[in-house]
Amino acid sequence: MSEIAAPAALEPAELERLREIARRIRVEIVRTVDHARAGHLGGPLSAADMLAVLYFHTLRIRPDEPDWPDRDRLILSKGHSSVGLYAAMALRGYFPLEEMATFDAVGSRLQGHPDMLRLPGLDMSTGSLGMGISAGVGMALGARLGGRDLRTYVILGDGECQEGEVWEAAMVGARYRLDNLVAIVDHNRLQQFGWVASAAPERIPHPPEAPGELVAKWSAFGWRVMEVDGHDIAALVRTFEAAARPDGRPVAVIAHTTKGKGVSFMENRYYWHTRAITPEDFAQAMRDLGEDAPDAVEGAR
Ligand SMILES: Cc1ncc(C[n+]2csc(CCOP(=O)(O)OP(=O)(O)O)c2C)c(N)n1
């Protein structure tokens, strides 16, 4: 019922480059949330690899011309993971990396949830879960009607897929055969307070999702479904390449991920969805991510 993209050659140097970018995105996520003393961690960390591949390999974009009409569109529908999106955008050159220090501050362009009216390069304001995919359907339909060959990518959370609006949009996307639309589900099996199944032994407030349920649902709604290890850079590259070959159906990429990926004590812990970081946590996180942090413990705040 789902596809797995066939292996394709990816230059070792390109693979290394993308891995390093994903690592740097994770470092920026932790550093920024620590500095702001607020923000989400688990969700952005789980999406870091897909953001690296999208922004540095897949998307047709011009960071110095953010309004370029033919750019691919990217909507982070799970807008609470904005800090990961900002890290990818800063590293890609949309704005200076130093600006990350303003994250979540009053007046900053980098709000806790993405605000397209403030930050050039954002295609959609998000934060209220469930809405991004509807906007993506509109953008994909608009692109087709306008004769533009751009693609629209929407990143959703798996918890977000509990929102009814997601499935209204899924119906419409299939109805209009929007094969220029790719929904990427960050399937980390956790949300704000737990869920689902074995990954959350501490707390399971919702009924466990059956294995393969998301695959079955998107398929039932008429979408072409692909599955991928959401932390395997090479697999993400070839999955997005395969997703770009149109066959008359919108594509749902179910990316199997780990919430908090890359920071040992955050992985698979729902309570790291959002939480303040202690100096000890920060030092450990930097070590986990391959950064030296002796100064940061003392000087971070
Ligand atoms: C409509 C709506 N309801 C509730 C929230 C609060 N909220 C923010 S993140 C989150 C959990 C999201 O879980 P998931 O979609 O799985 O994202 P991830 O695990 O990748 O962070 C919730 C309930 C929200 N932002 N929007």
Q: Six-digit token pair at 93?
A: 């050159």
Please give the pLDDT value at position 194: 62
> What separation in Å is there between the alpha carbon of 23 and the centre of ligand 1?
24
Query: What is the dihedral sign for C-alpha 135, 25, 60, 157?
Result: negative
Please give the pLDDT value at position 203: 54
> What separation in Å is there between the alpha carbon of 78 and the centre of ligand 1?
7
Q: If residue 171 lies in a helix (H) or strand (E), which one and from where to where?
A: helix 164-175
Please give the pLDDT value at position 4: 87
Looking at residue 154, the DSSP 8-state letter turns out to be E
**Which SS3 state, helix, strand or coil, does residue 77 take?**
coil
78 lines ligand 1 (CB under 6 A): yes
Task: Say how far apart CA 253 and CA 150 lie, in whole Å.
Answer: 18
How does pLDDT run along the chain (301 residues), one tens digit per residue? 788 887 767 899 999 999 999 999 999 999 999 999 999 999 999 999 999 999 999 999 999 999 999 999 999 999 999 999 999 999 999 999 999 999 999 999 999 999 999 999 999 999 999 999 999 999 999 999 999 999 999 999 999 999 999 999 999 999 999 999 999 999 998 888 765 544 545 554 444 466 788 999 999 999 999 999 999 999 999 999 999 999 999 999 999 999 999 999 999 888 899 999 999 999 999 999 999 754 544 433 3
Ligand 1 pocket test, pick from 40, 192, 266, 267 with the greatest ligand atom count within 8 Å of Cβ, gives: 192
Query: What is the dihedral sign for C-alpha 227, 87, 64, 14?
Result: negative
Query: What is the residue with the minimal CA distance to atom 12 of ligand 1?
Result: 191
Q: Supply angle C-alpha 62, 11, 6, rounded to 5.
A: 95
Architecture of domain 12-299: 3-Layer(aba) Sandwich (3.40)
Task: Say how far apart CA 179 and CA 141 lie, in whole Å.
Answer: 10
Task: Say how far apart CA 183 and CA 196 lie, in whole Å.
Answer: 21
Bridge partners (DSSP) of residue 194 are 191
Please give the pLDDT value at position 189: 87
Q: Supply angle C-alpha 173, 43, 92, rounded to 5.
A: 80
Complete edge-to-edge strand list for the sheet that includes strand 181-187: 73-76, 152-157, 181-187, 251-256, 224-229
Please give the pLDDT value at position 292: 73
- Among 92, 127, 73, 75, smallest CA distance to 18 is for 92
> What separation in Å is there between the alpha carbon of 131 and the centre of ligand 1?
12
- List the helix and strand counts (H, then E) for the chain: 9, 5
**Which SS3 state, helix, strand or coil, does residue 255 take?**
strand
